[in-house]
A and B are shown apart, each in its own frame.
Chain A
Amino acid sequence: MIDRDEVLHVARLARLALEEDELEPMARELSAVLDHIAKIGELDLADVPPTSHVVELTGRLRPDEPWPSFPREVVLAQAPAVSEDGFLVPSPQA
């Protein structure tokens, strides 16, 4: 149902590296789950509205009052690499 090329395409969308020897097992396991999921194709769902959330919510807003954010050093303390006042990452184009 899903082949090696599709696995590579989806992995690219998901920003997930996969090793060569991980492709075939992933294709097989995803296919097995997708075969089961195909069950929902059997139902007649014309005119049935979708449910994205069980709670009825209509854009409930809190008062627009500022409150303090975490200090910069507290947030940066969790980062794998920092430079001066920001997160340090490799260059987008090496």
Chain B
Amino acid sequence: MSATEILALSARAATAAVAAGALSEEELFRAYLARAEDDRAAGGDGLNCFTWVAEQVPSNGGGPLRGLPLAVKDLFCTEGIPSQSGSRILEGYRPPYTASVVSALQRAGASLLAKTNQDEFAMGSSNENSAFGAVRNPWDRERVPGGSSGGSAAAVAAGLTPWALGTDTGGSIRQPAALCGIVGLKPTYGAVSRYGMIAFASSLDQAGPLTRDVADAALLLRHMVGQDECDATSLAFPGEIEPPTAERLDGIRIGLAQELASEGIQAGVVEAVEAALGRAEELGAQLQPVSLPHAPHALAAYYVLAPAEASSNLARYDGVRYGFRAADARDLLEMYTRTRHDGFGAEVKRRIMLGTYALSAGYYEAFYGRAQRVRTKISEDFATAFSSVDFIVTPTSPTVAFRLGERTGDPLSMYMSDYCTVPMSLAGIPAISIPCGLSEGLPVGLQITGPAFSENRLLGVAHALERALEFDSQRARA
């Protein structure tokens, strides 16, 4: 098989070729190593999606994912391999252990190919907040790939890895998947262990797959889910994740959330999503409006809850136990404050300040307490909606990929990228983004969400729609 043929294989096809003896694990891995080297050699014209790349072919056992290269977001701890969540403050950190979900995939046979670039501590929607520099979008290198899992999304879209792991707190898998024209799934909260993930907002963070197609997302997720005694919030997944086979949507009731369909959404995005919904109807789905009355308040609640949790989680970075320490401090307090000043980037500092403010004396109930109550109302809205429909569909991102630098000066406009993805995060329910068309030559993502632990049915609907839409992702891989 030529390198071009190898790189064109889906993860499923690659592992089948290895199992059948048509392709060796080493040939497969080396094809991707060479591809990564080409991108690195391109310097400033490259994508900058990897922060670390394997130097040799790892020797791995058998298993259902035998020989498959895997790229994982920098924030997953990997033993002996740099893991710094895109931050200067973890400079030089090489964890003494590996995240549970990465270990599980390695046990299934996957081989670590690369760590991927990301927004610092997963805070951002453009991958411009990284100590490793911005990532470029393979569809248009003057545009952002989305974030915070921007390196994972760009690498998958460009064919630099068969697939990748990301994490999603308010949209950090789904939004970059949408902007890069690939599939990204945020599982039900608790379905995948968070042990060994460098924390951002613990009640929201969840790992998930970024893949070229829906069936590959199902295959990767199959080996990710499960209860872990090292994460007390992880839950046993009921049953197994099965390969999706649905081709029709007969009898499936799809809800259209009015509150997430118009405000601030680009006309080209609305058009592509409506065209995809037309295809869903042709496949037999019934479309009906649903209301999520509190969804317009989700973003405000999220920007209280996530920074509050982050300000607490990031208190551990004090220059004592790992990573960066500011030099020449006169006393302990100055060592803490200078280390944090020099080690954190601007967006992380903003969120720490916001979270600390929201949790400070006199403001707790007005901000954190109220935001937690809004969270309850949002979960209730979804529960009510799912009593009359099976799934809800929205655009994933209100816009297609924006230009590098376009939103860096205005944090609030950056936060609006998460408008359609944050409600599902607050409710802890699964959601998938699939590419549904182009607007101005750039990919548009369609988000489908369902009740907790509906991943198998969700993947089925996404698979049927993907088949009908025939989205062509070839251009990003050229």
A interacts with B? yes
Contacting B333 at CB < 8 Å: which of A10, A52, A92?
Answer: A92
Residues from 364 to 399 in B contacting A, C-beta threshold 8 Å:
366-367, 369-377, 379
Q: Which of B300, B334, B367 neighbours the largest number of chain A CB atoms within 10 Å of its CB?
A: B300
Shortest distance from the beta carbon of A17 to any chain B beta carbon, whole Å: 4
* Residues of chain B contacted by A18 (CB below 8 angstroms): 341, 349
**In the complex the two chains form, is A40's CB within 8 Å of B301's CB?**
yes
Cβ–Cβ < 8 Å partners of B296 in chain A? 39
Please give, as numbers and ranges, the residues of chain B lying within 8 Å of A52 by CB-CB distance. 203, 372
A91: B residues at CB distance < 8 A: 331-332
Contact stretch, chosen from B23-31, B137-145, B216-224, B229-237:
B229-237
B233 cross-chain contacts in A, Cβ below 8 A: 53, 55, 57
Nearest CB of chain B from residue A46's CB, rounded to whole Å = 9
Q: How many angstroms from the CA of A66 to the CA of B351 in the assembled complex?
A: 38
> Could you say which of B325, B331, B340, B354 contacts A17, with CB atoms under 8 Å apart?
B340
Whether A24 sits at the interface, judged by CB under 8 Å, is no
Cα distance, A92 to B427, chains bound together (Å): 44
B188 → chain A, closest Cβ, in Å?
A: 9
Interchain CA distance A40-B94 in the complex, whole Å? 41
Q: Give the docked Cα–Cα distance between A10 and B273 (Å).
A: 43
CB proximity to B under 8 Å, residues A42-76: 43, 45, 48-55, 57, 60, 62, 70, 74-75
B340 to chain A, nearest CB (A): 5
Q: Give chain B nearest CB distance to A81 CB in angstroms.
A: 7
Tell me which of A13, A79, A90 contacts B330 (CB under 8 A): A90
Could you say which residues of chain B place their CB within 8 Å of the CB of A30?
350, 353-354, 357
Residues in chain B near residue A50, CB distance under 8 A? 369, 372-373, 375-376
Closest to A60 in B: B232
Contact-size category for B: 35 or more
Chain B residues with CB below 8 A from A93, complex form = 331
* Inter-chain contacts of A6 with B (CB < 8 A): 357
Query: A34–B93 Cα gap in the complex (Å)?
Result: 34
Decide: B235 and A37 in contact? CB cutoff 8 A.
no
Contact segment of B56-64, B242-250, B314-322, B460-468: B314-322
| Cα of A78 to Cα of B276 in the assembled complex, Å | 51
Residues of A in contact (CB 8 Å), total 53
Instruction: Pick from A9, A33, A54: contact of B354, CB below 8 A.
Output: A33
- Interface positions, chain A 16-48, Cβ under 8 Å from B, are 16-19, 26, 29-30, 32-34, 36-41, 43, 45, 48
Interface centre among A37, A57, A81, A89 (most CB of B within 10 A): A37
CA separation between A55 and B234, bound complex, in Å?
9
Question: Which secondary structure dominates where chain A touches chain B?
Answer: loop
**Quick check: B370 and A41 within 8 Å, CB to CB?**
yes
A13 x B356 contact (CB < 8 A)? yes
A55-B235 CB under 8 A given contacts A7-B353, A48-B376, A48-B377 = yes
Chain A residue contacts of B336, Cβ below 8 A: 15
**B318 surroundings in chain A (CB, below 8 A):** 15
B294 beta carbon closer than 8 Å to chain A: yes
A8 to chain B, nearest CB (A): 11
Instruction: Check A79 against B321 for contact (C-beta < 8 Å).
Output: yes
Is B96 an interface position by the 8 A CB rule?
yes
A2 to B233 CA separation, bound complex (whole angstroms): 36
Set A19, A33, A48, A78: member contacting B322, Cβ < 8 A: A78
| Cβ contact within 8 Å between A94 and B366 | no
Q: Is B1 an interface residue (CB 8 A)?
A: no
- Of B190, B370, B373, the residue contacting A55 (CB under 8 A) is B190
Q: Which residues of A contact B190 (CB under 8 A)?
A: 54-55
- Check: B405 CB closer than 8 A to any chain A CB: no
Q: How far is the CB of B5 from chain A (nearest CB, A)?
A: 43
Are A92 and B341 also in contact (CB < 8 A) when A37-B367, A40-B370, A50-B369 are? no
Asked if A80 and B319 make an inter-chain contact with CB atoms under 8 angstroms apart, the answer reads: yes
Residues in A whose Cβ lies below 8 Å from that of B287: none
CB distance from B259 to the nearest CB of A (A): 13
Asked if residues B354 and A39 are in contact (CB atoms below 8 Å), the reply is no
Known: A10-B360, A48-B373, A77-B96; 19 extra A-B contacts, CB below 8 A, are A2-B357, A13-B360, A14-B352, A16-B344, A17-B337, A33-B354, A33-B411, A36-B415, A39-B297, A49-B373, A50-B369, A52-B203, A75-B321, A79-B321, A79-B322, A80-B324, A87-B321, A89-B335, A92-B333
Supply 18 A–B pairs (Cβ within 8 Å), ascending by A.
Answer: A6-B357, A11-B353, A15-B333, A15-B337, A16-B337, A16-B349, A33-B415, A34-B357, A36-B412, A39-B296, A41-B370, A50-B376, A51-B373, A52-B372, A54-B189, A79-B322, A92-B331, A93-B331
Shortest Cβ-Cβ A-B pairs, 6 listed: A54-B428, A50-B372, A80-B325, A17-B337, A17-B341, A94-B331
Residues of B within 8 A of A (CB): 93-94, 96-97, 189-190, 203, 229, 232-233, 235, 294, 296-297, 299-301, 303-304, 311, 315, 318-325, 329-338, 340-341, 344, 349-350, 352-354, 356-357, 360, 366-367, 369-377, 379, 411-412, 415, 426-428, 452
